[in-house]
Amino acid sequence: MRSIDLRRLIPAALTLLMTACSAPAPKSSATAPATTESAPAAAPAPSAPASTTTPLPARVAPAGYGAALKEQFAEAVGAMKDGKDEQAVALFNGIAQQYPELASPHTNLGILYYRQGRLDVAEAAFKEALKHDHQDYVSANYLGMIYRLQGRFGEAKAAYLQALAAKPDYALAHLNIAILDDLYTGELDQALEQYRQYQQDGGANDPRLAGWLADLEQRIKNAGGKTPP
């Protein structure tokens, strides 16, 4: 079995207050056994740079809905930032019922469920968000992280690509694809390309990136391949 560098498996931290990036690994999960993922069962999901380890933020209220919805979102996001998950869940569920056409309450519910380790309900919430907004790259990226934790690597790749189709410069989706290709599917050339795209789209200041690139380039050379310039 190919060994995995756990230093590369960073907590999926969510950085956004205005838009989500990614999230810390769930507190617990019964999915993704080591035999399924070729990695320890407790391995966290790949994610954002170490400098962005703020508490989970949230999608904000959409434009055009007036002050009442903004106030409801502000209260729910405040509870989310303060770690009052149950209160936040109740508030976002209320918003979702009151405004069934909106995607963002479901995205935020998915984020909350994800950090609680409730991957099944998180998956359902993100899928519901995508039904309302096919361009919701945050939900698509989270689905990819859930699928990776569950060993569903093909679905994870497709979800990350869906995020990039909506937002081609979404650095965290490039990073998540790179880690998936590097550590799980062994597609090293593609991983190198995605690490470099991550660097270009916002990861240039990630202090770990230079080491990752050097390590991966050496492994490609050792395998008899050539690294692109």
Note the pLDDT of residue 197: 96
Q: Any idea which residue has 């990776």 for tokens?
A: 148
At 30, list the tokens.
Answer: 């019964």
Which pLDDT score is estimated for 62? Answer: 72
Q: Is 84 within 8 Å of 92 (Cβ atoms)?
A: no
Average the pLDDT over each of 7-11, 73-77, 92-96 and give the range with the smallest value: 7-11
In the 8-state DSSP scheme, what is residue 181?
A: I
CATH class of residue range 6-161: mainly alpha
Instruction: Report how far apart, in Å, the C-alpha atoms of 222 and of each of 128, 140, 181, 194, 217 are.
Output: 45, 35, 17, 20, 9
Sign of the torsion formed by the C-alpha atoms of 85, 177, 28 and 103? positive
Question: Is the confidence at residue 30, as pLDDT, over 80?
Answer: no
In the prediction, which pLDDT does 86 show? 96
- % of the chain surpassing 90 pLDDT: 64
Q: Calculate mean pLDDT across residues 102-113.
A: 95
Tens of pLDDT, residues 45-79: 333 333 222 334 457 677 778 888 899 999 999 99
C-alpha pair distances (Å), 160 with each of 22, 67, 95, 157:
12, 34, 27, 5
Torsion (CA) 190, 36, 155, 117 in degrees, nearest 10:
-110
pLDDT at site 24:
44
Q: Domain ranges in the chain? A: 6-161
Instruction: Output the CA angle 142-132-174, nearest 5 degrees.
Output: 30
Contact 169, 203 (CB under 8 A): no
Element (H, E) at 92: helix 85-98
Q: How many whole angstroms separate alpha carbon 118 and alpha carbon 164?
A: 25
Report pLDDT for 226.
63
- CA–CA distance, 130 with 141 (Å, rounded to integer): 11
At position 135, the amino acid (one-letter code) is Q
